[in-house]
Amino acid sequence: MKLAETVTFGGGALARHAELRGNVRKQAELLADPAARTLAIWRGKPLFELANERCAPGWLMTGDRVLAQAGPPVFLGLAGGPRFAVDLSMWEPDSLPDTLTDFFDPSEQRHPDLPETARFAELRGTMTRLSPLDAELIASAKAVLGWHATHRFCARCGSESTMSMAGWQRDCPACKAHHFPRTDPVVIMLITRGNSVLLGRSPGWPEGMFSLLAGFVEPGEGIEAAVRREVFEESGIRVGAVSYLSSQPWPFPASLMFGCRGEALDDTISVDPEEIEEALWLSREEMIRVFAGEHPRIRAPRQGAIAGFLLSNWVADRLD
C-alpha cells in the first residue's frame, strides 16, 4: 500500500541509533549535551506542550528540577539533538480525577513547576495533532517505559532486574538473563465481499461504535492464519486470500497492529457472543455516510486508529 506509512505513528523515520545504547560514557555525554531534551511520562500520560492549535512533546532540559523524581533515562535517538524519556509516575499531583482508569481519561495534569501550557494528557486525545516524528518519539517512549513499569522482575527466576542498554534491555543480576521490550502483534483486517466490508462491535463499546475485526496473533501462528482464524471465530466468515496493507505501532500498552485485507468466501454471519456483540456487512456507499456522520446507527471511526485509516482508504479506493 503506497500510503501505508501515512498512518498515525507511522513514517516518523526516527534515527534511533541503537549502536549508541551500550556505550555508558557516550550516553552520559548525550544527556549532558545542551541540545538534549527529555520527555516525562506520568502514569502513561506524556507531557505535552499544548497551546491553542500547537501540540508537541513537552521536552525538558537535562537537569530540570521536575526530573528530580524521575526514573532512569531511556535513549530514544537523535532528533535535532539527543532525545530521552523518563517515567515520572512518582510525582503526586494535589488531586487525582476519578477518570484515570477510564478507557479514555480526558483529564489533564499540571505540574506546579512547569508553565501553564505543559500538561500531562492522554495520547489518544492528542495523537492526530502530532508531527510523524513527534508521534513516533512519544509512542516509543510510552511503550518502552510501560514495559519497564510492568517487567521489573525477571521472568525466569523472579529476582528484581535492572535497566540496561540505555533503557532497551533489562538484566537479571541473579540468573544473568537478558530481557527485551515486548511488542505484541495484532492483526486487524479489512474483510470485503464484493462492494461490502465486514464490521463488528465488542460488548461494552460506546453506542454506535463499530470497527474492523482484530485479534492477537498467537504463538506459532503467521499473520495470514491469524486473520483467517480471528474472522472465523468472531463472525463465522471464512476468508480466502489475505494480503498485508499497513502497520501501526499502538502503545496502549504495547501492540503492533498489522493491517490486512482479506476476501470473504461467504457472507453468512454467525457471531460468537463471547467475542463480539454484533457483526454486519456495510456497503461502500453506507460507509461514506458513516464518515460523513450521516449514518443512522453507526458513528464515524475514531481518528488516528488504523481501522479508520484503512476504511477511509478503502472508501477512496486507495489501498493499492
**Residue of 177, 209, 225, 256 interacting with Zn ion (CB under 5 A):** 177
Contact status: 178 vs Zn ion (CB under 5 A): no
Q: Residue 177 or residue 280: which is nearer to Zn ion going by CB?
A: 177
**Residue of 15, 18, 68, 175 interacting with Zn ion (CB under 5 A):** 175
Separation of first and last alpha carbons in the chain: 5
**Rounded to the nearest whole angstrom, what is the least distance from the CB of residue 89 to Zn ion in the complex?**
24
Q: Residue 43 or residue 179: which is nearer to Zn ion going by CB?
A: 179
- Rounding to the nearest 10 degrees, give the CA dihedral for residues 178, 152, 214, 133: -80
Residue 42 corresponds to which cell in the numbers above? 506520568
**Rounded to the nearest whole angstrom, what is the least distance from the CB of residue 174 to Zn ion in the complex?**
5
Q: Residue 131 or residue 159: which is nearer to Zn ion going by CB?
A: 159
Q: Residue 159 or residue 243: which is nearer to Zn ion going by CB?
A: 159
Contact status: 155 vs Zn ion (CB under 5 A): no
**Rounded to the nearest whole angstrom, what is the least distance from the CB of residue 178 to Zn ion in the complex?**
10
Q: Residue 23 or residue 159: which is nearer to Zn ion going by CB?
A: 159
**Residue of 18, 35, 61, 157 interacting with Zn ion (CB under 5 A):** 157
- Restricted to residues 98-117, the positions that interact with Zn ion (CB under 5 A) are none
Cβ atoms of 289 and 202 closer than 8 Å: no
Stretch that binds Zn ion, among 118-126, 155-163, 285-293, 309-317 (CB under 5 A): 155-163
Cβ atoms of 12 and 314 closer than 8 Å: no
Alpha helices in 151-295 (DSSP H): 223-235, 284-291
**Rounded to the nearest whole angstrom, what is the least distance from the CB of residue 160 to Zn ion in the complex?**
9
Q: Residue 177 or residue 254: which is nearer to Zn ion going by CB?
A: 177
**Residue of 172, 237, 242, 307 interacting with Zn ion (CB under 5 A):** 172
Q: Residue 15 or residue 175: which is nearer to Zn ion going by CB?
A: 175
> Which residues does residue 243 pair with via DSSP β-bridges, in sequence order?
261
Contact status: 156 vs Zn ion (CB under 5 A): yes
**Residue of 133, 154, 231, 306 interacting with Zn ion (CB under 5 A):** 154
Binding residue count for Zn ion, defined by CB under 5 A: 8
Cβ atoms of 126 and 135 closer than 8 Å: no
Cα–Cα distance measured from residue 230 to residue 228, given in angstroms and rounded to the nearest whole number: 6
Stretch that binds Zn ion, among 101-109, 130-138, 152-160, 289-297 (CB under 5 A): 152-160
Residue 262 corresponds to which cell in the numbers above? 482479506
Q: Is the peptide bond before 253 cis (omega within 30 degrees of 0)?
A: yes
**Rounded to the nearest whole angstrom, what is the least distance from the CB of residue 153 to Zn ion in the complex?**
8
Cα–Cα distance measured from residue 31 to residue 24, given in angstroms and rounded to the nearest whole number: 11
**E-strand stretches of 15-63:** 37-42, 45-51, 54-57, 60-61
Alpha helices in 109-157 (DSSP H): 123-126, 132-150
3-state secondary structure of 107: coil
Cβ atoms of 46 and 58 closer than 8 Å: yes
Stretch that binds Zn ion, among 33-41, 122-130, 159-167, 267-275 (CB under 5 A): 159-167
Stretch that binds Zn ion, among 24-32, 33-41, 158-166, 187-195 (CB under 5 A): 158-166
Dump the DSSP string for 244-283: EEEEEEETTTTEEEEEEEEEES-------TTT-SEEEEEE
Please give the residue ranges that form the binding site for Zn ion (CB under 5 A).
Answer: 154, 156-157, 159, 172, 174-175, 177
